[in-house]
Amino acid sequence: MVMIKGRTKKSLILMGFILLFILSFFISIGNGAVKISPLGIVKAVLFQKDSVHYQVVWNVRLPRTIVAALVGVCLSLSGAILQGIMRNPLASPNIIGVSSGGGLMALIILILFPKYYYMVPLGAFTGALMATLFIYGLSWKAGVHPTRLILAGVAVSSLLNAGINGLMTFFPDRVAGVIGFMVGGLSATTWIQVGTILPYALAGMTLVQLLPQKLNILMLGDEVATGLGLNVEKTRFAFIILSSLLAGSAVSVVGLLGFVGLIVPHMTRLFIGSDYKYLFPAAIFLGGAIVMLCDTLSRILFAPMEIPVGIIMSALGAPFFLYLLRKKEAIR
């Protein structure tokens, strides 16, 4: 049986993802303690600026939904990039130390210097980037070999995680305050967080639209890519930094939600193939949609109690992902 993997099919799937994204957006804003219809949302925002609905939508749900979407976008783009440059399906933002580096910095601030809690986003962001640079430096030996980078990443991450666990062991009384950060959550999100993550998300989205061909070439292997005139080391370094910035900005806003960066790119790839011209836009919309939907669930499932979105992500995402994996293999 010949599988038709034409451009039309890919474009259709992409359109499906865009629809899903828009749908998720309205579902996320419309659901919660007060239910609002899509039409109600539009009306409230545009015409009834003094209504309760406006207050709910504009001050609470809209920033939260936007942050959820952007976090999804950043993490899935970051993962998609890393899986491409490492040519390894296990690559994810965690591998380049984003979670461990960002996490350790955030915990140092939260546990040792709780007065400076407002520095957490900046700290997490710098921590993530520093961990990435450290791992990259360690794995450099006349060039960076993807496997060496992954191994260095695993080693450094476990070292930093030891630091995280050590902190939590020495200050058990302060652990309660950091759980939210550790599992990743979106509660109490305001327009401030939107401002934090938006520049990175926008820059990332623009850049990846310009660069899919470079990643496609890099996927052919270092030597072939060199032969085709791609500066492999430079390109790989630029992409690693880009994905660290993307994932770091997400982690700094919502905490350690790294799982999205591992699973969403894979899901996208299973649906649309590995051509980055389609994979990037698809990862943007699917990543955004999935985090928005999971966040909605985290709000309404056990209302009025809220479960961190990271838990929902893993609890629902992993089984669904495994299902997809098996089903797709059966087709092949």
Partner 1 sequence: MGLEALDIHVKYGQKEVLKSIEFKISDGEITTIIGPNGSGKSTMIKVLSRCLNPCKGSVYLDGENLKNIATKKIAEKIAILPQIRNLSSDIIVEELVSHGRYPHLGFKQRLRTEDKEIVEWAMEKTGLIDFKNREVATLSGGERQRAWMAMTLAQRPKILILDEPTTFLDISYQLEVLELIKELNKSLGLTVIMVLHDLNQAARYSDNIYVLDNGSICEWGTPNEILRSDLIKRVFKIQSHIYEDDINQCLYFIPEKRV
Closer to partner 1 at the Cβ: 86 or 120?
Answer: 86
- Please tell me the count of residues contacting partner 1 according to CB under 8 A: 21
Choice between 161 and 235, CB closer to partner 1: 235
Residue nearer to partner 1 on the CB measure, 180 or 273: 273
Site for partner 1 in 223-282 (CB under 8 A): 223-224, 226-231, 273-275
Asked whether 85 and 221 are in contact (CB, 8 A), the reply is no
Q: Is the dihedral of CA 236, 237, 242, 243 positive or negative?
A: positive
Tokens 């957490």, residue located: 120
And the tokens for 111? 């546990």
Largest CA distance in the chain: 64
Among 31, 222, 300, 311, contact with partner 1 (rule: CB under 8 A): 222
Stretch that binds partner 1, among 45-53, 190-198, 214-222, 312-320 (CB under 8 A): 214-222
Shortest Å, Cβ 213 to partner 1:
5
Non-local (6+) Cβ contacts of 112 within 8 A are: 167, 171
End-to-end CA distance of the chain: 10
Distance CA 114, CA 181 (A): 14
CB of 287 to partner 1, least distance (A): 20
Chosen residue from 31, 161, 187, 216 binding partner 1 by CB under 8 A:
216
Asked if 92 touches partner 1 (CB under 8 A), the answer is no
- Which of 188, 213, 322, 328 lies at the binding interface for partner 1 (CB under 8 A)? 213
Site for partner 1 in 138-197 (CB under 8 A): 142
Q: Name which of 96, 309, 277, 284 is nearest 188 in CA terms.
A: 309
Query: What does the block give as tokens for 205?
Result: 């989205």
Least CB distance to partner 1 at residue 148 (A)? 15
Nearest CB to partner 1, comparing residues 275 and 295: 275
Distance CA 120, CA 167 (A): 16
For residue 260, give the amino acid letter. V
Interface ranges with partner 1 (CB under 8 A): 5, 87, 142, 213, 216-217, 219-224, 226-231, 273-275
